[in-house]
Structure 1
């Protein structure tokens, strides 16, 4: 009877601690969010006040003018066409780059001789600034979407390749040998050792590649394009139209945050399915 009562009291204490911990995390999240909003509002107020007396208005505009330009952009068919074109180019370049980098990393890591032959060549090509290849891709693919997609592919593929390549090479050899001794074949090693080992570096490369895809597309649209957010930014800069410039930047920031949020959600989902999510918890949380 005493043991049962003690066990029940222990369970109640655990539930109380968990509830207090959950409430504490909510308070911390609300505090951090409130501080972020406060910083943004303070920056906007200072921007509005200093534009003109301190900062040249033609170069920075005012938040109220930027808001009007953003509303005009989102309320026009031309603005949504630019957003749609850039979003398609980023999505296509990002997807192709992830697939290409993953396949190339797995192949070269699985065949050491091929890795030793091609790794220096890949490193040499990766050393070329991607935007410097834009004129070459324009000659190959023309002024349309594929030249922008090719730049995005180059930026994403190399990052994903190195994360996958090094992840496979650094996997624990003992685990591979244990699976092989137990009769496992190559696909068993892939399922039970390689994929769990690669999950974290793969998604790290994917998260890094997302902004690079956007950067490549916008840079290529700056050089030569007839539509897209980069074309809109270039036109606004040429006309010294600061409100339109900042409105385009806000759209780009929104696209980047949305892409990062989606990739973060996929990262957590994949690690949870693989049973690796507990490894991501901070030390303070698991203590």
Structure 2
């Protein structure tokens, strides 16, 4: 911990100590996670063969070799690039579609009451069951995967935005209107702060759904992509390559979730919606 000078106020000392404790707790948390992963990999390596069938679970050393082969080949990077493009396009279009529909139906209550049950009924259809239909419309190219990837994020974003608008505090809206506020004032001071948290919650929920949609569609019919590689590895009983592809998917999910979490914190901080810590003094 940094040295405390005589000119430091009690509140400064407390804040410094809290920052130091927080950093130490974060380091300990990361170390514990590393230990858990190391133990799991060690058990996997030891138990594969004597206890677990090696043809089904392979070994971490073999998975590492398969992952190196995948990342060292042009075909492996082509599969990764195809899946990343499909996930990014499907996720972005799904978020845009869900947000627009949610804003429109939330702004017009009668239209929302008419269409919301129909949207709920369509949402009840398993998304993967729609894959063959989209394949008939768009073929086995990228657009069929992008369309399937759109569905999950679109529904999640729609419900978060739609319900967020419905749950706006009516009293706050009336206060802004009484004070002479126009539509853009309601948007800036009421709607955006109200929808910020549900919007970013929908983003973090919809990201994995977009990945799931793309991988499922690549399983059904595709000529490239990580899902295509996983399906081929499963058919060839190549467990090492199968787990290598799963490692790539996990990495993609972590990167996407980390990026969305960072954007969430940045946006909420810019909007002034993050809780502020009040400095405490000794004897307070």
Category of TM-score, reference length = shorter chain:
over 0.9
Spell out the pairing of 1:190-205 with structure 2 (5 A cutoff): 190-205=187-202
**2:218 paired with 1:247:** no
- 1:277 aligned counterpart, secondary structure: coil
Q: Specify the alignment match of 2:147 in structure 1.
A: 150
**2:262 paired with 1:265:** yes
Q: Normalising to structure 2: TM-score of the pair? A: 0.94
Superposed CA offset, 1:7-26 (max 9, x none): x9795211211111111111
- 1:265 aligned counterpart, secondary structure: helix
- 2:253 aligned counterpart, secondary structure: helix
Provide structure 2 residue ranges, at least 5 long, that are not aligned to the other structure.
279-284
Task: List structure 1 segments (4+ residues) > 6 angstroms apart after TM superposition.
Answer: none
Counterpart of 1:93 (choices 65, 85, 90) is 90
Paired with 1:100 and 1:280, the residues of 2 have a C-alpha distance of: 37
**2:30 paired with 1:61:** no
Counterpart of 1:216 (choices 192, 210, 213) is 213
Paired with 2:277 and 2:261, the residues of 1 have a C-alpha distance of: 12
Q: Specify the alignment match of 2:76 in structure 1.
A: 79
Q: Specify the alignment match of 1:48 in structure 2.
A: 45
Q: Specify the alignment match of 1:175 in structure 2.
A: 172
Q: Specify the alignment match of 1:26 in structure 2.
A: 23
Counterpart of 1:106 (choices 103, 107, 110) is 103
Superposed CA offset, 1:221-251 (max 9, x none): 0000000000000000000000000000000
Cα deviation for residue 162 of structure 1 reads 0.2
Cα deviation for residue 128 of structure 1 reads 0.2
With a CA cutoff of 8 Å and minimum separation of 6, indicate the structure with the bigger relative contact order: 2
Paired with 2:227 and 2:163, the residues of 1 have a C-alpha distance of: 34
How many aligned positions are there? 274
Superposed CA offset, 1:130-165 (max 9, x none): 000000000001000010011110111000000000
Distance 1:248 1:279, change over 3 A: farther
- 1:275 aligned counterpart, secondary structure: coil
Cα deviation for residue 280 of structure 1 reads 11
Paired with 2:88 and 2:10, the residues of 1 have a C-alpha distance of: 49
Cα deviation for residue 187 of structure 1 reads 2.0
Cα deviation for residue 34 of structure 1 reads 0.5
Cα deviation for residue 278 of structure 1 reads 1.4
Counterpart of 1:116 (choices 113, 116, 120) is 113
Q: Which deviates further from its counterpart, 180-189 or 130-139?
A: 180-189
Paired with 1:195 and 1:9, the residues of 2 have a C-alpha distance of: 45
Cα deviation for residue 65 of structure 1 reads 0.2
Q: Normalising to structure 1: TM-score of the pair? A: 0.93
Paired with 1:261 and 1:27, the residues of 2 have a C-alpha distance of: 21
RMSD between superposed Cα atoms in Å: 1.5
Cα deviation for residue 178 of structure 1 reads 1.1
Counterpart of 1:206 (choices 189, 198, 203) is 203
Paired with 1:231 and 1:118, the residues of 2 have a C-alpha distance of: 37
